[in-house]
Amino acid sequence: VQLQASGGGLVQAGGSLRLSCVTSGRAFSRAVMAWFRQVPGKEREFVAAMFRSGGNQYYQDSVQGRFTISRDNAKNTVLLQMNSLKPDDTAVYYCAAGLRTILSSIRDSRAYDYWGQGTQVTVSS
């Protein structure tokens, strides 16, 4: 499974961005797909995850109500719509795929097998 993330950029506070992660490999439809983010000097932190198309979505508390994760299994793509962005959302965002990820570990980066290269999101105040 290979992941290619895109869609990052510079946006003012209150603005929106949509991140996209295109995957290759037939395992996508059964993989847990997630977004994490990382700032220099800090650990990678969970943002959002989804088990399969139409399945339950899980979010970090700080992005609940502002971010939406979705996936299109036909296009092997997972999206992260980010609205009402804040300067604290500034980070490199990574998409991840887990083939054996279970609910209890969905927020743990160690539970994911494959990672995209990251895309920078910068929110100015």
Name the residue type at position 108.
D
**Residue whose C-alpha is closest to residue 91's, from 114, 59, 123:** 123
- The answer to whether 21 touches 10, Cβ cutoff 8 Å, is no
- The answer to whether 116 touches 21, Cβ cutoff 8 Å, is yes
Largest CA distance in the chain: 41
User: Could you give the CA distance from residue 36 to residue 57 in angstroms, rounded to a whole number?
Assistant: 14
Burial tier of 87 (Cβ tally within 10 Å: 0-12, 13-18, 19+): exposed
Tens-level pLDDT at each residue, the chain (125 residues):
789 999 999 999 999 999 999 998 777 888 899 999 999 999 999 999 998 766 789 999 999 999 999 998 888 999 999 999 999 999 999 999 999 899 999 999 999 999 999 999 999 99
